[in-house]
Structure 1
Amino acid sequence: MYTPRTQAALDCPVLPAGFSPKCSSIQRLHSKPTLLYRTGKKWFPPRGPEAQRPSKELVPVFNHPITKVWNDDLGWEVVKVMDVHEIRFTTIDVVRFRADEVSEDDECSGEARYSVLSPVTIWVGVFPGLVTATAAHDVAKIILDLLKVYQIADVDIEFRESLHVSNVGPQLFKAVDAEDPLVHVVSPLTPLLGLCISTRARPDSQGTMALYLNKGDGSDDLLGLSCRHVLFGNQEANVDYIYHPSSPSKDVLFLGNRAYKDIIEATEASISLYTHAAQRSKNTIKGSGKDANTVHDETKANQSDVGSSLAEAEKVLKAFTK
């Protein structure tokens, strides 16, 4: 719940309490977060006229004691610490950083020689401009003391500014019967075959998801099958796409711009249609009942039909307001 995916790593010196200047992340990463405070070993910048900061990537944590207590207990205790000290966080992740380091003989050139895996890090994202380095320092000390209670001592704490954008939208509607008053509006928003999809990079280009495939291997996940041109433009090479956690994701969206506009217009048109139908039925019933002595059998039958139309229109309008 509080560990959404993030895509970057930091490379800045440890900041002492009260130290406010901010440090940007390395330039080779996609999100380029700004560091507020970090614990751990002191960092030294690479030396030499052409030295560059080594690139880093985010990697998951598996065989570590923190994984056994984080989701059930420890993670929520960290959240409580943040709330008590009014740290307005956006994300809290347990991660490692893998970096390309250089040997002492190649420090001047900055040429990478081997990879190094960082200690496990509690990586805290906070809203930009709302948390100071001093506040982050104080909270980090409390979290380190909390880790000692769980007999965990080899974990660093890092605070950086970030904004969390959720890639999950509202759930789709369940399929409805053909007699349902909202069938024409709800049908495009149900997980039936032929869902209209697009991408975040190309929302004006859209297509359909043909069918569902079970991922297999005991997983409950479903995969969607679609044509390549729906997800990739003509400017992209026709090669296999392989997702990498440290690279920008290619997000698939439900509904493109055109399909979304069509659904909005269709919904508004349906509401307008049934509103006018209900009003016409009311006026008809009211007009036909002015002189009760002249009401014939044919008129009564007509009133019954109009009454049924009114009931149907009101039923649909009531469904729209739910």
Structure 2
Amino acid sequence: MSDSVPPPPFIVTTSVSKAYYKGLPSEPPLIATTKPNPIDAPTGPEAYTVLKELRYLGEHPLATLWDNGLAGELSSSLASMDVKWSSLDLLHIPNVGEPSGPAIVWIGVEPGGLSFEDGSKVAIDCHQLIGTHGVRDYCVEIRESRVSREARNRFLNPVLQSNATFSARDPYTATLGIPIAPKNRPFVQGTGGLFLSAGGDDKSIYLITARHVVLPIDDANQEYIRKNESRRREEVLVLGTSAFDNKFDAITHEISCQLSGMTGARERTLLFQGRDDPESVKECLEAEKQYKAAEEGIRELDALQKEVKIHWEGIENRVIGELTWAPPIILSTKPDEYTLDLAVIKLKPGTLDALNYRGNTINIGNKIPRIDFMNKMYLHYTSGSSFKYPPDGLVKLAGQVPESALFDLPMRDVNKEPCLIVFKNGAATGTTTGRANRVSSYTRRYFAGKYQESREWPVIATDKRSVAFSSRGDSGSCVADAYARVGGIITGGGGATDTSDVTYVTPISFIMKVLQKNKIFKYAHLNPQLT
């Protein structure tokens, strides 16, 4: 198609709107597209079964123009049209299994903010604006999308994956992905992202998260710093009220599964008992082993559940620290700046010790089978990833993703396009993998009495078979790359539901610059040691 002249307008219908993004994590409603024939008319019960997927933008002229003024021009144009936009992303959105197709300038608008007819006019105007830069092979699409802030005693020792309590005890361990909540708002859920040392003479260990996890997002947005004992403590819990109940019930479910395994093993033993053919003898022996393993698993899970009830059920027992510092939330599109949504929690003495502390380590768990996880770390045989699957499932992070790697991507995906594979363990969605986009996204939110825009480092799902990278409750999670380096923390996501199509991350390079400008954290680093 020619992209310097907008194609004939296509007015979206309700049925097309609902079906167009089928396959994406939140399946957001389509409002407008500049594709002349974006979807075939329905012809029967199998209509609209084509699935779409998100792919990051590879080499494309728009990638160069985007952060050098084009995104700003688009935001100004949308503002002049009084469009309540929420996000600007630059991606490919092809049908699953098909070539990537044109670049998509993906505009998110607040739900109910644009009719199909008005949306079509806005999309065409934006298309024309982009065309003035001499760019080809692109389309503009508008969808509904909220940009949400995804906020929803001694830690236990981690155990090996062979232990029946491996998954059930993860929320109570000190590996990254700690589910946290403010004590005075225990209904909120967020994630503890990274352990931090202030450096110098300060031997305390701190935990980084997003500010909106521990302080109300509608507060005065002033710097929080507790300099004296007269100020009220903003204490932080492991697991809010509903999160604790859910995780406690999860242990009960694990026990039920083990009981079911015992029943099945007993029935198999009775079925083959007394037979002397080799296959029956083998089956009987295997069933007896499984019975004993399930029996031992129940003992371990029962002991864990009792320990959790005694030592973790009381809300005071779940206080792990208090808020030390939180700068105001700042939304910025200035060069080399991103959304600043940061809080630093000082952990209570005694919560960490030599047995439970592993430093900045992500427990990737057993949610994703080893072979599948490794396939996602090496999407193409030429990828330069150095990732090695840890036998204990604990990935020790070392170093930081350099700012240059946000744009000069060192890996390749299945289409041989440059990419950077990332992963995280969040309180809401657990372990997930994703692909960082080399082109910034931009968000627009009503904040502090006015609409403000900000630059984001965007992450999308790894491939069409992968779940969404994040959801509400994952804010604060540490995002690491396939080289086991710290990439940043999640501060939000864009989608039509609580599940995010695009996850927004603040890079660690920017976070460390902000921290080291504060005199308390002038010598801050990400390798805190126990004393």
Task: Report the TM-score, using the length of structure 1 for normalisation.
Answer: 0.51
Q: Answer 1 or 2: which has greater helix percent.
A: 1
Q: 1:167 Cα shift?
A: 3.1
Aligned twin of 1:99: 95
Q: 1:231 Cα shift?
A: 4.6
Q: Which of the residues 134, 147, 157 maps onto 2:140?
A: 157
Aligned twin of 2:18: 24
Identity rate, percent: 17
Q: 1:53 Cα shift?
A: 1.8
Q: 1:125 Cα shift?
A: 1.3
Q: 1:63 Cα shift?
A: 0.8
SS at match of 2:148: coil
Query: Is contact 2:24–2:54 with CA below 8 Å preserved after alignment?
Result: no
Distance 1:118 1:200 in 2: 46
CA separation of 1:243 and 1:144: change in aligned 2, threshold 3 A: same
Distance 2:468 2:118 in 1: 31
Distance 1:52 1:20 in 2: 13
Q: 1:182 Cα shift?
A: 5.2
Could you list the runs of 5+ residues in structure 2 that have no partner in the other structure?
1-7, 152-209, 215-222, 248-317, 321-350, 361-395, 406-423, 435-459, 462-466, 478-531
Query: Is contact 1:147–1:153 with CA below 8 Å preserved after alignment?
Result: no
CA separation of 1:99 and 1:199: change in aligned 2, threshold 3 A: farther
Q: 1:198 Cα shift?
A: 4.7
Distance 1:134 1:39 in 2: 12
Partner amino acid, structure 2, of 1:79: S
Whether 1:67 aligns to 2:63 is yes
Aligned twin of 1:170: 211
Partner amino acid, structure 2, of 1:72: N
Aligned twin of 2:81: 85
Partner amino acid, structure 2, of 1:115: E
Aligned twin of 1:219: 402
Whether 1:144 aligns to 2:100 is no
Report the number of matched residues.
207
SS at match of 1:116: coil
Q: Which runs of structure 2 are paired with 1:170-209 in the superposition (5 Å)?
A: 170=211, 180-181=228-229, 185=233, 188=235, 196-198=237-239, 202=243
Aligned twin of 1:243: 433
Distance 2:401 2:91 in 1: 26
Distance 1:98 1:74 in 2: 23
Distance 2:397 2:241 in 1: 25
Q: Which runs of structure 2 are paired with 1:110-149 in the superposition (5 Å)?
A: 114-149=97-132
Using CA pairs below 8 Å that are at least 6 residues apart, which structure has the higher relative contact order?
Answer: 2
Aligned twin of 1:302: none
CA separation of 1:83 and 1:154: change in aligned 2, threshold 3 A: same
* Larger Rg, first or second structure (1 or 2): 1
Could you list the runs of 5+ residues in structure 1 that have no partner in the other structure?
1-13, 101-113, 190-195, 256-322
Q: 1:95 Cα shift?
A: 1.2
Please tell me the root mean square deviation across aligned C-alpha atoms, in Å: 4.2
CA separation of 1:79 and 1:185: change in aligned 2, threshold 3 A: same
CA separation of 1:197 and 1:153: change in aligned 2, threshold 3 A: farther
Q: Which of the residues 27, 30, 39 maps onto 2:34?
A: 39
Whether 1:58 aligns to 2:54 is yes
CA separation of 1:165 and 1:15: change in aligned 2, threshold 3 A: farther
CA separation of 1:254 and 1:76: change in aligned 2, threshold 3 A: closer
Q: 1:64 Cα shift?
A: 0.7
Q: 1:15 Cα shift?
A: 6.2
| Cα deviation 1:277-320 (Å, max 9, x = unaligned) | xxxxxxxxxxxxxxxxxxxxxxxxxxxxxxxxxxxxxxxxxxxx
Q: 1:181 Cα shift?
A: 2.4
Aligned twin of 2:417: none
Query: Is contact 2:150–2:474 with CA below 8 Å preserved after alignment?
Result: no
